[in-house]
Chain A
């Protein structure tokens, strides 16, 4: 059975004026870790709110853990865990009080499901008398995850759990998610970070409310048409302008400390010709190498066809 199904879900705001989700359709298998990848405002949170029964869809249908998201919302609320994007716990309650409170309203106790949260909770336990408002960003998210897990949900919804969290805590957080997956919990997670996308079993790329592609992260990267080159030189600013004005360039974007470049036509002489051209106009320390296109490259490719 699929843990989550969406069939042509549409969600609009302001009486239909703003289209937030446009006929989204996908399924998440039981025990799968599924990622919703897209920039801010793509409609990720709207999908989460529709699935967690907080908002009614304007069209389409869906199920969570086998229950209908409109008619059986009460059943769904009994068996899911949800961590909203802006969730910040009760700042004036201590770590322990927060956890205890959420355990109680989910009709359980910390002891009953301690096994599930143990790995995460032992990291924040030394601070259990500290007020949640005084925790670091990473700690807060760990505590929030504990609160969302305390009642052993079948399906876990995490809306941008690592936004605003430092790099080390982000890695730790995803380690925890992997462990939860091994315990059989279905996880739907959204993130604007492409490097986190590869950690999901499957990902859906979403932009402007539309789902652009659904596949495993490896396949998504393989889908990239043509070859991709990383170009580096001493004067990166000049390089971007020069590459964009180079007649054979199809697209060129700044990506970290290098330029990601594709040619209009892939052939073996491309690199040599470009090297010569750039050398002639004064670039030094030139480095051009072929690379595997990442999810972000693919995302840019399919979301901005105007550049293609």
Chain B
């Protein structure tokens, strides 16, 4: 046991004495949370839109006031012809145009329905979708108010509900994704690089030719990264609560337990890479290509899985981060308990078990 702890202490020396490793372990997670939180969110603020009001009546003014009050839009009021609007789109001056027809209020009050033309720049479909959904939620608000004041008795109300993210904030969607990404990065990549480094430096040969049991070497190499990952997890959660105003709705204990399971599966993946990689460079590349990219692309936090080709969907069901993302979303954002995530947990546990099993089988007490 004394040997084991001496080994772990040595491992921490490695981590804390190498500035690059430190930056990787603590800088990257913080940078990612901040980046995704404030810069790269799907949320769109202050988009330039043009409003052409041909009605200039009570209702149109009320709607425009609401649009202006929203922080998503930067409204420019103008009477533009269709050609002018198109020109403005082409130069990229505006992202959306909202046009009120001449008899807006009278249509609404007499026919109980009125039309608004909304033109969005769909060359960036994500932005276009987001902007139109912002706008329709504003219109919904307006209609609800009209009903409550009794001015319009019958209105056809579109049922649009933004589940779990009513304000359309970007943060909630990406925090679980960043958690999966960061844990995967630290556990798999750093562990595989750390082990391959020992191979490269020739120290692995000496360690193997020592009374130290080879499996203890491997466990001792992974323990520090497990601890650091949990530390990072805590930091990410603190940042999302205090910086991004994102409350953790579910049980924190459950969240940490599930995270530990995911960390173990990532460590197992890192070990698998380290067995095969011959240099630190190839360990790094393999981790990035085979772990980072799938985690970013196939967990569903950047691109919805439902929209992917079937083959990609099948692949996405094989990677543990997919399940972890679902679990974290359920526990953290929706406040659900173990009862609703036991299936994902079971699959993730199974994948972990398989990975650990492969590791034990391919484990070497010799060099080759």
Contact = CB atoms under 8 A, between A and B. Distances in A.
B201 interface: yes
Contacts of A78: 211
Contacts, number: 80
B124 interface: no
Interface in A81-116: 82-93, 97, 100-102, 104-107
Contacts of A171: none
Nearest to A81: B209
A210 interface: no
B1 to A, nearest CB: 11
A45 to B, nearest CB: 10
B206 A87 contact: yes
B206 A102 contact: yes
B203 A107 contact: no
A80 B13 contact: no
B20 to A, nearest CB: 11
Interface string B38-78: 00000000000000000000000000000000000000000
Interface residues of A, number: 32
Contact of A106 (B18, B205, B210, B366): B210
Contacts of A86: 201-202
A85 B210 CA distance: 17
A55 B366 contact: yes
Contacts of A55: 366-368
Contacts of B18: 92
Interface stretch (B3-11, B24-32, B174-182, B245-253): B3-11
Contacts of B206: 82-84, 87, 102, 147-148
Contacts of A73: 365-366
Nearest to B213: A74
A80 B210 CA distance: 8
B198 to A, nearest CB: 9
A105 B3 contact: yes
Interface of A: 49, 52-56, 73, 77-78, 80, 82-93, 97, 100-102, 104-107, 147-148
Interface of B: 2-3, 6-7, 10, 13-14, 17-18, 201-203, 205-212, 365-368
Given A49-B367, A87-B206, 4 more contacts: A49-B205, A54-B208, A87-B201, A101-B10
23 contacts: A49-B367, A52-B209, A54-B208, A55-B368, A56-B366, A77-B208, A80-B209, A82-B205, A82-B206, A87-B201, A88-B203, A89-B201, A90-B14, A92-B13, A92-B17, A101-B6, A101-B7, A102-B206, A102-B210, A104-B2, A107-B3, A107-B211, A148-B206
The 10 nearest A-B residue pairs measured at CB: A104-B6, A86-B202, A87-B202, A54-B367, A92-B17, A84-B205, A82-B209, A84-B202, A105-B212, A105-B3
